[in-house]
Copies of this chain bind each other. A is one copy, B any other.
């Protein structure tokens, strides 16, 4: 798998990475030129991939296990948005020479934890040296019934507009890390940082929505942007009722202290919640039957284009200074 690794890299692969393949016979213990993805009969394999660069997508002083789990989970969030059940992943490590065995041990321990949580296995990868920052790629695979993936296109006029969990925590958590947010106690700060560092991919919800939801996406670039992708792919407008947006108590406290944080909540990203369209007739109970994740109806899809946020019944305008009445 790995091309011309150094002796030390062979050793690292055997010590830290091969054990992560123990439950995947198609990985051949990382000793072959390629791996076999096990796809159940009648299922399609769904694939997504994300790269994180030290100093760009993470600071570098985080616990390596958290870096690993975030990289894995942003991929699992993409699979959830497609309604695919995660099954396996490959890992490409471009690491500077300064990376120690202890770093790699903690990194792979993070992967091991999440493999157990999500029922997935490492099946392949590559390990190379780089003179630059650590550059980490995971490519994740999932199963979906043939022809039944959730797409961004497919919402219909009159569909309800839903999100999972709470919105804005990840982006606010990044502000906490930067020391750019005030008025929060230590517990609230920790909660927001935790949401930034450790996404909760909504795998069970995504799989459960197949057959009911008309369209879905995960919220990585921000609610307004990702909902905008669903609306435009579906040829529709989307209208959000600001008062309906589900907030954690920590995010609520932050907004109480400074309402200029609303644009961060609506457009900041790193939520890794699902935003989806479901028929008017679907009930909350039906939609959340397969998942413990709360879901909230925050608006609807209409004929037209664009995303509108309604505050007190009036369209709001997003500009640099924040949301305001239009």
Contact = CB atoms under 8 A, between A and B. Distances in A.
Interface of A: 1, 3-4, 26, 28, 31-39, 44-53, 55-57, 74, 77-79, 81-82, 84, 90, 92-94, 123-126, 128-133, 135, 137, 139, 141-142, 144, 149, 151-152, 217-218, 220-221, 229, 233, 269
24 contacts: A3-B57, A3-B220, A4-B269, A32-B82, A32-B151, A33-B77, A33-B79, A33-B218, A34-B79, A37-B45, A37-B46, A39-B39, A47-B90, A47-B139, A49-B125, A51-B92, A51-B126, A51-B128, A53-B132, A56-B130, A57-B128, A92-B139, A126-B137, A132-B133
A55 B131 CA distance: 8
Contacts of A36: 44-47, 144, 149
A149 to B, nearest CB: 6
Q: Which of A46, A84, A93, A94 has the most CB of B within 10 A?
A: A94
A324 to B, nearest CB: 23
Contacts of A130: 53, 56, 132-133, 135
B35 A48 contact: yes
Contacts of A90: 47, 49, 139
A44 B39 contact: yes
B81 A137 contact: no
Nearest to A226: B33
A155 to B, nearest CB: 13
A279 to B, nearest CB: 21
Contacts of A46: 34-37
A164 to B, nearest CB: 14
A79 to B, nearest CB: 6
Nearest to A80: B33
B47 A37 contact: yes
A50 B126 contact: yes
A149 B135 CA distance: 31
Nearest to A46: B34
A3 to B, nearest CB: 5
A87 to B, nearest CB: 11
Nearest to A43: B39
Contacts of A123: 47
Given A132-B133, A142-B34, A1 B48 contact: yes
